Amino acid sequence: MDYRYVDTVLLTHTHLDHVADLPTPAKARLLDGHDTFTVIGLQGIQNVCDALFVVDDLAERLTISVREPPAGADPFTIDDLEIERAPTDHSKPGYEYQFDEQVTTAGDTAPTEPVCSLANGSDVPVHECTYPDGTEAPGHSTPTALGELFTDVDVDRILLTHLFPRDGTARR
């Protein structure tokens, strides 16, 4: 998809590495002549957006809509897109999302049964794999721990993301 047409961003959680880039697609939309941008996230996302969209006066130049889906794990919709979700196991509250039963993305999380269960059957399960084997990784995943949990899951492959360089103790 052409980045200029991204009008809505859905966040898995509010850690810096997952929100710091939000002004960039918003500015791209503005420069392309659009005047709206939507962020959907968790509780507290309004404060995050208030801080981020001060940059370049984006909050004044764009109509930025911020939406918090209801608490809990019930499905919700964005326009006509049905989104299932499962809570993640991380140092900040977050969700794994599944779109139209095809694509599942977990954000930051330890490998857990609810996350694994939601990914089951997805055409494209995307899962973080932050740290290598042999390291402590609370709130994150390692290859072996992820593989063990997904052993009985009906997916052909898992797309790994969020691969950190590793040179010391694991941090959240």
Binding residue (CB under 5 A) for Zn ion from 7, 8, 9, 15: 15
CB of 57 to Zn ion, least distance (A): 28
Binding residue (CB under 5 A) for Zn ion from 3, 5, 17, 138: 17
Number of residues near Zn ion (by CB under 5 A)? 3
Question: With respect to Zn ion, which residue has the nearer C-beta, 96 or 108?
Answer: 108
Residue window 41-80: x/- pattern of binding to Zn ion, with contact defined by CB under 5 A: ----------------------------------------
CB of 60 to Zn ion, least distance (A): 30
| Burial (CB count <10 Å: 0-12, 13-18, 19+), residue 94 | buried
Question: With respect to Zn ion, which residue has the nearer C-beta, 17 or 50?
Answer: 17
Question: With respect to Zn ion, which residue has the nearer C-beta, 42 or 155?
Answer: 42
124-128, strands of its sheet edge to edge: 76-78, 81-87, 95-99, 103-105, 124-128, 159-161
CB of 90 to Zn ion, least distance (A): 6
Question: With respect to Zn ion, which residue has the nearer C-beta, 15 or 34?
Answer: 15
Q: Looking only at residues 82 through 121 of this chain, which bind Zn ion when binding is defined by CB under 5 A?
A: 108
Map tokens 């981020």 to a residue. 52
**Stretch of residues binding Zn ion (CB under 5 A), selected from 9-17, 22-30, 70-78, 98-106:** 9-17
**Contact footprint for Zn ion (CB under 5 A):** 15, 17, 108
